[in-house]
Amino acid sequence: MFPSTSLASFFILILCFNGVTSSSTPTKIGKGYRLISIEETPDGGFLGHLQVKQKNNIYGPDIPLLQLFVKHETQDRLRVHITDAEKTRWEVPYNLLPREQPPALKQAIGRSRKNPITVQEFSGSELIFSYKADPFSFAVKRKSNGQTLFNSSSDESDPFGEMVFKDQYLEISTKLPKDASLYGLGENTQPHGIKLNPGDPYTLYTLDISAINLNTDLYGSHPVYMDHRVVNGQTFTHSVLLLNSNGMDVFYRGTSLTYKIIGGVFDFYFFAGPSPLTVIDQYTTFIGRPAPMPYWAFGFHQCRWGYHNLSVVEDVVDSYKKAQIPLDVIWNDDDHMDGKKDFTINPTNYPRPKLLAFLEKIHSIGMKYIVIVDPGIGVNSSYGVYQRGIANDVFIKYHGKPFIAQVWPGAVHFPDFLNPKTVEWWGDEIRRFHELAPVDGLWIDMNEASNFCTGLCTIPNKQCPTGTGPGWICCLDCKNITNTRWDDPPYKINASGIQSPIGYKTIATSAVHYNGVLEYDAHSLYGFSQSIATHKALQGLEGKRPFILSRSTYVGSGKYVAHWTGDNQGTWENLRYSISTMLNFGIFGVPMVGSDICGFYPQPTEELCNRWIEVGAFYPFSRDHANYYSPRQELYQWETVAESARNALGMRYKLLPYLYTLNYEAHISGAPIARPLFFSFPSYAECYGLSTQFLLGSSLMVSPVLEQGKSQVKALFPPGSWYSIFDMAQTITSKDGKYVTLDAPLHVVNVHLYQNSILPMQQGGLISKQARMTPFSLVVTFPAGASNAEAEGSLYLDNDELPEMKLGNGYSTYVHLYATANEGTVKLWSKVEEGKFALQKGWIIEKVTVLGLDGSGQPSALEVNGSPIAGASKVELSSMEQKYHKDVEVGDIKKSVMVEVKGLDLPVGKDFSMSWKMGISR
């Protein structure tokens, strides 16, 4: 919600705090470590010990002895784990992110080992680990071409030093080739686009600082980057994860990358690729596959902070219907709550009998309802949620008492989701609330965690909050905590972009979780641990597939939740930034992502809202959301925006089968729903930094207008043939790829389908439940004018309420689609897995459209399932010549035609085949 945005101007006033800041950091600290022993472990790994070479006290004393563990965990994943050899250190809990445990620490460590290994290279199937003993450094190489992917050694000329390992300061660097394209390291709003920009700050520490702030640490922490390179004309992609939840600065200089971390361990995972999609597959195999989303989640969502009573919500739903704009889900921010307290219903503005009647009404037509839940539990002795929380001892502590903070209801305690009892209590509160109001999903916000106050606070003898004025002004009695090394660590990460104290406007970092875990270490895991608890609770309610939207995320969050990009502004710049952030979250394994359409605040212009819905209609998660203090901006508020919405969302609802199939692909392989163009065109360097267009899946490209006053858009078209999805007769073909200026009047968004694809579509509708039952059509694309070509696609269908998304349960169907054009004969056929579910639903394919065929005569001799189609049949076969864009030189491309077959009645759940002859121009 809103408080962070109001802090943006305030942040500017904050001066840097005492202590060494990153800008004055000594370039090189110490002489590093030397390897004193190494041996093979029974599980095929390697265990070594490192001894500090020369102690110093910059940022505290060095840890004298380290344990090194190296293992090729799979054919394409290498782990390098470095920790204190004598004392257990904080790591991301193994029960939150399940993974192999490294060897236990040895109590007595000598300088020599039995049969020490002298070899300096450990080779796996795809990656090679090598090391230098003194000073210790390691490198990771790709086996197939010998290229170095990571190299921690430091030379005199390097701007970074040897590895540093202290209790509250860890540093390690890697050299990089100049031409490597890097992506990831979020969450932040990147003004330069999806490629990491040398010199930009990359700080990872979860904070409620609005997404309008550029190049600062935002709501999530994802210490992973993807590295895409061209080597001898071939492209190779790999990924590097540093699994560490402590605050960190990452300095990217173009030819090197340096991590500076305030705790934890070095726990590196290297994913070999070699393509962008295989990297994501390997990464999500490790961190967890993205959660399956229900079908309705791909419909359009409407929210606003400020729907003061139920009648306003009812009016919004009715107004969308009157305007004939699709709407699947209506949301409430905290307006439905009683005194802004979680799991309550306001008896005056949202009387329960009327709310239940409303929910019954919308549920009967397939619409859904979602509400917000913040982690802060109001301190109120008459509030049952609080009473049960105190009784179960579920809150984060400070000096043995529940830590006091302030959020919307006033004074609050924060549940400790690292505590198993808290997870049980949270699930029970969700169950109780669901009995009160049968909501269809939960929106967990403010979970960085956000706090309107800073430090150690007590509840004053006055009304707090007052009920007048902004609710995010701190009204508790608070004093700063600076007397512990956890609240004031020796190294200051660049928190909020200004090296603010790490406990500023959040939980004090010396507060304590379950089993003595410090907030200092676990801070960035808060939203992740809440996501896991919420997912478990919702899945246990009715055994249905949960839908959860979380603001704060960490490595592995995509297994449980969707994400939106937080408090953005209704500006053209923020519209552009939304694309980069969305694409980054696909790389992070959180494919269900979107931004507040038209901006969270202030009011967008009418023109901007037109253009934003034309982009937002193609976000994986598509939601309009606005702030309490902004004028209304539902899509029907302007007639021009309503028209753009009917056009763009109308197409989205026709594409729902495709989006849902991408959801399945994401769940089984991690493949992002929205992707940068280089995922499909890895060798086409023009698209490496492209952040103004994106792909849905491998082949559907969105090229929106992102600038004020423009009625054209200059779009990059990689080599091949592209077909307008709104006007399939329109073709853009280029041999080497090129920029093309496309017409884009106010209500038009350009979306193109690439060659060699088969796209499943339906007829659309105003609610996904209705749209889902309409007949299917298939769009087949061949390279324009090709006489020999192939295309393929797929379609996944299931009962989307089932918690698992898989084949073989009797409630799902998967259809492989194939097509060829060969010497004048066009063939299209399917291979169906588990056809029973689709057959029971009665789904049929009614129309097939094939684009890019070479031919001059009319199509003829149509056969369906081996039988000729007689003239008396209702099936119609027609063709028309396709048009090439005026900016494209057609050159030697032969005449290209589009063929349409209508009036079919092919069951989706059964294999089918069809073919026809084309007149060929020679």
> What pLDDT is recorded for position 855?
76
| Owner of token pair 């917000």 | 372
Both 307 and 371 in a single domain?
yes
> What pLDDT is recorded for position 898?
95
Element spanning 647, H or E:
helix 639-654
Q: How many CB atoms lie within 10 A of CB 397?
A: 17
Residue 19 has pLDDT above 90, yes or no: no
* 27 and 161 Cβ atoms separated by less than 8 Å: yes
Both 330 and 433 in a single domain?
yes
Largest CA distance in the chain: 92
Q: Which tokens go with 118?
A: 């002298």
Distances (CA, A) of 473 to 406, 454, 470, 631: 9, 11, 6, 22
The whole-angstrom separation of Cα 631 and Cα 796 is 40
For the chain, helix, strand, coil in percent to 5 are: 20, 30, 45
> What pLDDT is recorded for position 22?
45
Both 279 and 299 in a single domain?
no
Residue 71 has pLDDT above 60, yes or no: yes
Both 452 and 305 in a single domain?
yes
Please indicate, yes or no, if residue 20 is contained in any of the structural domains: no
Concerning whether 448 is annotated as a catalytic residue, the answer is yes
Of the three residues 236, 256, 287, the one that is the final residue of a domain is: 287
Average pLDDT over the chain, rounded to an integer: 94
The residue type of 363 is: H
Distances (CA, A) of 49 to 36, 101, 170, 267, 268: 6, 17, 17, 15, 17
pLDDT in tens, 90-145: 999 999 999 999 999 975 555 445 445 666 889 999 999 999 999 999 999 999 99
CATH number of the domain that 454 lies in?
3.20.20.80
Both 302 and 261 in a single domain?
no
The whole-angstrom separation of Cα 836 and Cα 833 is 9
The whole-angstrom separation of Cα 359 and Cα 588 is 35
Q: Which tokens go with 734?
A: 């280029």
Of the three residues 287, 311, 332, the one that is the final residue of a domain is: 287
Of the three residues 235, 252, 287, the one that is the final residue of a domain is: 287
CATH number of the domain that 50 lies in?
2.60.40.1760
Residue 313 has pLDDT above 70, yes or no: yes
Please indicate, yes or no, if residue 416 is contained in any of the structural domains: yes
The residue type of 648 is: A
The whole-angstrom separation of Cα 699 and Cα 716 is 14
Q: Which of 7-11, 392-396, 535-539 has the lowest mean pLDDT?
A: 7-11
Both 242 and 325 in a single domain?
no
Both 360 and 264 in a single domain?
no
Concerning whether 743 is annotated as a catalytic residue, the answer is no
Please indicate, yes or no, if residue 283 is contained in any of the structural domains: yes
Contacts of 84 (CB under 8 A, 6+ apart): 63, 65, 66, 67, 105, 165, 265
> What pLDDT is recorded for position 823?
86
> What pLDDT is recorded for position 889?
67
Contacts of 525 (CB under 8 A, 6+ apart): 92, 93, 96, 245, 418, 554
Angle (nearest 5°) at CA 41 between 36 and 42: 160
Concerning whether 445 is annotated as a catalytic residue, the answer is yes
Both 593 and 707 in a single domain?
no
Average pLDDT in the 474-485 region? 92
Q: How many CB atoms lie within 10 A of CB 592?
A: 28
Angle (nearest 5°) at CA 448 between 442 and 449: 95
Element spanning 785, H or E:
strand 776-786
Contacts of 516 (CB under 8 A, 6+ apart): none
pLDDT in tens, 158-188: 999 999 999 999 999 999 999 999 999 999 9
Please indicate, yes or no, if residue 14 is contained in any of the structural domains: no
Both 343 and 482 in a single domain?
yes
Q: Give the active site residue among 448, 521, 596, 634.
A: 448
Helix/strand/coil for 697: coil
Q: Give the active site residue among 91, 342, 445, 487.
A: 445
Contacts of 469 (CB under 8 A, 6+ apart): none
Please indicate, yes or no, if residue 772 is contained in any of the structural domains: yes
Determine the number of helices (DSSP H) and then strands (DSSP E) in the chain.
14, 56
Please indicate, yes or no, if residue 720 is contained in any of the structural domains: yes
* 782 and 850 Cβ atoms separated by less than 8 Å: yes
* 701 and 754 Cβ atoms separated by less than 8 Å: yes
pLDDT in tens, 20-31: 344 445 579 999
Name the burial class of residue 751, with classes exposed (0-12), middle (13-18) and buried (19+) by CB atoms within 10 angstroms of its CB.
buried
Residue among 642, 581, 577 nearest 614 (CA): 642
CATH number of the domain that 872 lies in?
2.60.40.1180
Residue 7 has pLDDT above 80, yes or no: no
Name the burial class of residue 76, with classes exposed (0-12), middle (13-18) and buried (19+) by CB atoms within 10 angstroms of its CB.
buried
Q: How many CB atoms lie within 10 A of CB 861?
A: 12
Quote the number of domains for the chain.
3
Asked if the bond preceding 135 is cis, omega within 30° of 0, the reply is yes
Q: Give the active site residue among 429, 567, 798, 834.
A: 567
Contacts of 635 (CB under 8 A, 6+ apart): 302, 320, 323, 325, 609, 613, 624, 641, 642, 645
Residue among 722, 763, 767 nearest 740 (CA): 722
Q: Which domain holds residue 223?
A: 32-180+218-287
Please indicate, yes or no, if residue 200 is contained in any of the structural domains: no
Both 176 and 309 in a single domain?
no
pLDDT in tens, 694-742: 999 999 999 999 999 999 999 999 999 999 999 999 999 999 999 999 9
Residue among 12, 24, 18, 25 nearest 501 (CA): 18
Q: Which of 97-111, 273-287, 291-305, 527-541 has the lowest mean pLDDT?
A: 97-111
Both 366 and 226 in a single domain?
no
Residue among 499, 506, 536, 530 nearest 520 (CA): 506
* 272 and 142 Cβ atoms separated by less than 8 Å: yes
Both 273 and 422 in a single domain?
no
The whole-angstrom separation of Cα 688 and Cα 677 is 7
Average pLDDT in the 68-92 region? 98
pLDDT in tens, 606-616: 999 999 999 99
Share of the chain above pLDDT 90, in %: 90
> What pLDDT is recorded for position 116?
53
Please indicate, yes or no, if residue 799 is contained in any of the structural domains: yes
Residue 240, strand partner residues: 225, 270
Contacts of 458 (CB under 8 A, 6+ apart): 404, 476, 477, 478
